[in-house]
Structure 1
Amino acid sequence: MPAFDTAVFDIDGTLLDSNYHHALAWSRAFDAVLDRHVPVAAIHRAIGMGGDRLVAAVAGDDVEDEHGDRLRDRWESEYDQVSGETQLLDGAHDLLVAVGEAGLDVVLASSSIPKHAQRPLHLLHAVEHADAWTTSEDAEESKPAPELLDRALDKVGGGRAVVVGDAVWDVEAANRRDLPTIALLTGGYGREELLEAGALAVYADPRDLLAHFDEAFGTRSRRR
């Protein structure tokens, strides 16, 4: 029996090279709305948590209370301008194919707003290679809350799931449901901090994970 019956994939930073596009969009939003600069490095450290949490995390509760909605609206418009430049990470599509051929259900657990999820779902050929996917509309609470994982698993009825993500927030959300996480370095988080957060294993990128498929997923792929 395979170690898992379901693989739940984060998209941004894990399959799609978009974390730095998000950080830049947030930086431009902060510069436009506030009278002070928020360091992009601080913003990057929060990428992976929901936008409803990010403002307070990087700029404080007062900024969230006074400017949160304006900042999120401005971030959305800024990301609209750069989202078309995002690309799949090497091996992302092949990894989904391999996971499906190994007999696991594939769920793409995106917390993006629907219009921002369209591009990666198209690039990944989600209709052919995913059993289900989510967007921000599927959960009221964003990461690191585990609600999105709950909704993702509800869609396929997975009982033995593994989460594949790139951020400590992915690991934290999975920890809250006692789900193991395979982490990738593609989001800009460090190997040791991902392991310290509780990741089961860390690989460089989707291609590296694919190269270590059997040890990571505990099964023999039926790839031909």
Structure 2
Amino acid sequence: MPIRAVLFDIDGTLVDSNEQHVNAWAFAFRDEGHPQERDDIRAQIGKGGDLLVPALLPTASEDVRQRIADAQGAHFKTIYLDQIRPFADAAALVRHVHHSGRKVVLASSAKQEELDHYIELLELDGIIDATSSIDDVETSKPEPDIFAVALEKVSVAADDAIVIGDTIYDVAAALRAGIVTIGVTSGPFDERQLRDAGAIAVYRDVAALLAHFDRSPLGGPPVVADGHEAALRADDLAEPRPGDDAEIMSETPIPPPPLSEEEELSAEAAPELRVP
């Protein structure tokens, strides 16, 4: 069956906000007396505070966890929210999905207040069919609740929908809801991590996905998910065409050219210059 709904994550997918969230979390943990490394926080980005804080402070009390989450929200709103900007072609991709006849849903672990701000920032009034946020559910991603509520709001079955997101938690939540995911590497996770999590395709960003919309899972054959793994129903994704510069990301590194005989002799004569 054709795709009838596209569920967009927002932070790190449509808007460039992940590092600002990392900074706000770093301030919040520090203020509570539990400083965390930014890399450790970054690895949890994509979860809501209900799951992010326990992942980093598993023995903290519920009161401490809530204070940290509240502080993060306050820091983000007062310091960073007005600095957030959309990724290139983010709004154009959402509009293109809308004009293709699909339902458009914003589904995020953020609060509804932030979603409303981003709809205005992206100038998507009248384009969005529904939203789902942490305010609609008890548990954030990677639990499936946010995506399950999104499907309910637009009355679309899981196998008629697709998610677009930037984190492994988007992919995990979607799979648990029975939905497949297109990943974008504009967030904290690379292509391999997104594919290993279960993404059926990975693009550099939403601009790359828009540039190749017709040859992507959005414009190609329908897709299915069984809750554990996902695959294209028909032919696999098309290979890049000559001149393409924003296609699905390659997983195979290009090997360096072999050394000439002269270069090999020079390297042997100067082993201290060789990089191990």
Same fold by TM (over 0.5)? yes
**For 2:75, what is the secondary structure of its paired residue?**
helix
Q: TM-score, normalised by structure 2?
A: 0.75
The structure 1 residue matched to 2:153, chosen from 152, 155, 169, is 155
* Mapping 1:75-90, distance limit 5 Å: 75-80=72-77, 81-90=79-88
**For 1:88, what is the secondary structure of its paired residue?**
coil
The structure 1 residue matched to 2:60, chosen from 53, 59, 63, is 63
Partner of 2:27: 28
Partner of 2:45: 47
Contact 2:167 2:187 in 1 (8 A): yes
Larger radius of gyration: 2
1:177 Cα deviation after fit:
2.0
Q: Which has the higher contact order (CA 8 A, sep 6+)?
A: 1
Partner of 1:194: 194
Partner of 2:256: none
User: In 2, distance between residues paired with 1:200 and 1:64?
Assistant: 38
User: In 2, distance between residues paired with 1:76 and 1:167?
Assistant: 20
Q: TM-score, normalised by structure 1?
A: 0.92
User: In 2, distance between residues paired with 1:183 and 1:207?
Assistant: 13
**1:52-103 deviation per Cα after TM superposition (whole angstroms, max 9, x unaligned):** 1111112x22125451011012111110121110011111000001111111
Structure 1 stretches lacking a partner, 5+ long: none
Structure 1 or 2: larger helix share? 1
**For 1:217, what is the secondary structure of its paired residue?**
coil
Q: Give the letter aligned to residue 5 of structure 1.
A: R
Structure 2 stretches lacking a partner, 5+ long: 221-276
User: In 1, distance between residues paired with 2:185 and 2:212?
Assistant: 15
Q: Give the letter aligned to residue 179 of structure 1.
A: I
The structure 1 residue matched to 2:69, chosen from 67, 72, 91, is 72
Contact 1:55 1:64 in 2 (8 A): no
**For 1:140, what is the secondary structure of its paired residue?**
coil
Please report the RMSD computed on the Cα atoms of aligned residues, expressed in angstroms. Answer: 1.5
Partner of 2:208: 208
User: In 2, distance between residues paired with 1:62 and 1:193?
Assistant: 28
1:37 Cα deviation after fit:
2.5
User: In 2, distance between residues paired with 1:187 and 1:64?
Assistant: 30
**1:25-53 deviation per Cα after TM superposition (whole angstroms, max 9, x unaligned):** 0001111111x421001001001011111
Partner of 1:134: 132
1:189 Cα deviation after fit:
0.7
1:214 Cα deviation after fit:
1.4
